[in-house]
């Protein structure tokens, strides 16, 4: 899989020109952008030569000041809306009017902004993540199955499948329809690209029965299966596996599982009344300024919206403190949000205030 490319970087102009390659890249760019940033790229604008003429779509290169930034995951695009600052050809561009720039994979985008260390770190993270093999999860029982892809922004649920058989059917018919259910599952897995590992899990024996059956039908693919146990054969089962650290064991670098694992460690420390953790703006600032902070956890939304939070993160990175940015869309991010969106592990306890 190709990774996001940096085509140009000009510090004098505060410019970085990027070419996203996939959905995760668009998500990372959306996390970097903020209202007031200037964005330039290729777009289309409707033009009429006269009131009676038919409307035509003209290709333009447009630069606008962002006001609204929306990651449209299911449309596979990032939408940036705002007032046009400049563009070419000039006859098709109305400076000062509103326009929406659709950022899509394989199309370059130029971003002009005050670049911070955490912005550049996120770009490096995006470039690294797209080089990693994909990790998939299939949770199932005898009647249903749910399939998810692990992505930077969380678990992306791709499809669900339900077995149509009935307990009233005779044993022979049940067995035949069960094979059809397994066959459809295997067929869908065989269509996947860039498979590293597929976690197969569920209650009871359905997951192990499917694995054994798949080993006979497609041993090469089945060799990439990892058998686990979960209580449910739906999205709840996927979340259960994430919280158990299954993804981390299978692919240690996966971001989603890492966020959940870190939050479990943090909550465990709180439950033990440990003085080696803190949360909240004032406490984390004190931890960073006193050089007690070992690792800072921050919610991406908070980092983007709050200047004082950005200043704390900048100071932490300047001091060499590890900073972990959580997605507000992930389960780990939602748990961090419950603590105010900012927390830290400490080398030593903070002095009493």
For 87, list phi and psi in degrees, rounded to 5.
175, 165
Q: Where are the domains of the chain?
A: 5-129, 134-253, 265-346
Q: What digits encode the pLDDT tens for the residues 124-152?
A: 877 876 666 578 999 999 889 999 988 76
Average pLDDT over residues 87-106: 91
Q: What architecture (CATH level 2) is domain 5-129? A: Roll (2.30)
Classified as helix, coil or strand, 72 is: strand
Q: How far is Cα of residue 296 from the mean position of the Cα atoms in its chain?
A: 19
**What's the CA angle centered on 157, arms 155 and 159, to 5 degrees?**
160
- CATH number assigned to the domain covering 265-346: 3.30.1330.30
Specify the pLDDT at position 154: 66
pTM assigned to the model: 0.57
Give the C-alpha separation, 283 to 80, whole Å.
35
- CATH number assigned to the domain covering 134-253: 3.30.420.60
Residue 144 β-bridge partners? 162
Class of residue 269 by CB neighbours under 10 A (exposed 0-12, middle 13-18, buried 19+) = middle
DSSP 76: T
Q: To the nearest whole number, what is the mean pLDDT of the chain?
A: 87
Whether 91 shows a pLDDT value over 80: the answer reads yes
């Amino acid at each position: 899989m190709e990774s996001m490319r940096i085509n140009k970087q000009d510090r004098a102009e505060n410019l970085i020109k990027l070419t996203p390659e996939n959905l995760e890249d668009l998500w990372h760019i959306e996390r970097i952008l903020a209202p007031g940033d200037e964005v330039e790229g290729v777009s289309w604008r409707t033009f009429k030569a006269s009131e009676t003429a038919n409307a035509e779509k003209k290709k333009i290169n447009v630069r606008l000041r962002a006001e609204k930034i929306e990651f449209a995951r299911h449309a596979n695009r990032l939408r940036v809306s705002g007032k046009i600052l400049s563009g070419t050809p000039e006859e098709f561009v109305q400076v000062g009017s509103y326009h929406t720039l659709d950022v899509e994979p394989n199309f370059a985008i130029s971003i002009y902004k005050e670049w911070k260390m955490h912005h550049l770190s996120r770009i490096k993270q995006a470039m690294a993540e797209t080089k990693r093999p994909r990790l998939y999860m299939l949770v199932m029982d005898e009647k249903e199955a749910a399939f998810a892809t692990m992505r930077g922004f969380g678990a992306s649920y791709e499809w669900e499948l339900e077995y149509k058989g009935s307990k009233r059917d005779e044993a022979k018919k049940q067995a035949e329809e069960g094979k059809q259910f397994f066959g459809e599952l295997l067929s869908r897995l065989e269509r996947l690209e860039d498979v590293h590992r597929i976690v197969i899990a569920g209650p009871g024996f359905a997951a192990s029965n499917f694995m054994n059956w798949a080993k006979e039908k497609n041993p090469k693919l089945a060799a990439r299966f990892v058998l686990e146990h979960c209580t449910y054969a739906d999205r709840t089962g996927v979340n259960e596996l994430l919280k158990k650290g299954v993804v981390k064991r299978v692919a240690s670098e996966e971001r989603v599982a890492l966020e959940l694992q870190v939050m479990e460690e943090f909550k465990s420390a709180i439950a033990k009344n440990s003085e080696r953790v803190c949360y909240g703006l004032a406490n984390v600032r004190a931890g960073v300024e006193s050089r007690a902070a070992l690792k800072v956890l921050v919610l991406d939304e908070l980092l983007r919206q709050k200047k004082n939070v950005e200043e704390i993160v900048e100071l932490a990175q300047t001091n060499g403190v590890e900073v972990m940015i959580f997605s507000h869309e992930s389960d780990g991010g939602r748990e961090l949000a419950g603590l105010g969106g900012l927390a830290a592990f400490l080398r030593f306890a903070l002095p009493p205030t």
